[in-house]
A and B are shown apart, each in its own frame.
Chain A
Amino acid sequence: MANGPSDPGPRDADQYPGTPRWVKVIGIILLGVVLLVAFAIATGLGGPHGPQRHGATAPLGVETEAMANAQ
């Protein structure tokens, strides 16, 4: 393509061209998802997480034999 008015012109070949815009967009999206998950866990909106989720208490507060065996 010919150099347009918005073309920044020739770049120094010894200089790192920088992080592409699509990487920055993905980074922002990932950061948003991480913050959302952290918020959900911190406020309890996401429910209990991790192995303890099927640990001490069973659904309805009933410890079934199978659940006890699964621990």
Chain B
Amino acid sequence: MTLSPRWRNLVLAIHLTISVGWIGAIAAYLSLDVAAATSHDPQTLRVSYVGMGLIVTTVIVPFAIGSLLTGVIISLGTKWGLIRHWWVTISLVLTLIATAVLLIETGTVAAYAAVAADPATSADELRSLGSTLVHSIGGALVLLGVLVLNVYKPSGMTRYGWRKQQEQRAARLDEAAQVRPSSTRHGAE
């Protein structure tokens, strides 16, 4: 399945928007996560946890799934493929890991947000809620790594990609060899 140039550009535009938006949303989340980890002020803690919950459930999770889906579509719909080039394969694996960890962590963040949103929750309870800094910093680093891979596209084919390339090259040579004798004959006439 190969995408036409028009569709390829559309999917690529959506993929870039969503993927960069995912990183931007994590940056916004990180600012609240740092506040939640360092502040002792109950009001700051309350709004931070509620904000973290909102950002994760309404922006980060949809963007993560959208980025994964559009990435798979654009890879399968172009010459790059999913497992032909190392940079694509590694990007896919890292995105899958980041999305899996995110989906697991979403439950925790949502629970923190629910506790913080409850007016009955005391200041001590708010201060004892944990932070998700390790996961959010780790996630941001992974996504920046994927971004670098996607921009630089370092060379190197997987064994599968190399074999496919050889097969296509051989098929093209066979085609050319079949066409050449007849055209030579025409030229001789």
Contacts and interface: CB of A to CB of B under 8 A. Distances in A.
B27 to A, nearest CB: 21
A69 B117 CA distance: 12
Interface in B123-143: 124-125, 128-130, 134
B86 interface: yes
Contacts of B57: none
Interface in A31-71: 46-47, 49-51, 53-54, 58-60, 62, 64-67, 69-71
Nearest to B134: A46
Given A19-B86, A59-B128, A64 B118 contact: yes
B118 A54 contact: no
Contact of B162 (A17, A53, A58, A70): A17
B35 interface: no
Contact of A60 (B90, B120, B128): B128
Interface in B101-154: 104, 107-108, 110-112, 114-115, 117-118, 120-121, 124-125, 128-130, 134, 154
Interface residues of B, number: 28
Contacts of B90: 23, 26
Contacts of B125: 58-60, 62, 64
The winner among A17, A58, A66, A67 for most chain B CB atoms within 10 A is A66
Contact of B108 (A14, A17, A54, A60): A54
**Size class of the A contact interface (CB-based, 8 Å):** 20 to 34
A20 interface: yes
A58 B125 CA distance: 9
A16 B130 contact: no
Given A22-B156, A65-B118, A54 B86 contact: no
A35 to B, nearest CB: 15
Nearest to B111: A54
A49 B108 CA distance: 9
The winner among B90, B108, B163 for most chain A CB atoms within 10 A is B108
Given A17-B162, A64-B118, A64-B120, A50 B111 contact: no
Given A22-B86, A51-B104, A59-B128, 4 more contacts: A17-B157, A50-B104, A60-B125, A67-B114
Given A51-B104, A64-B118, A20 B155 contact: yes
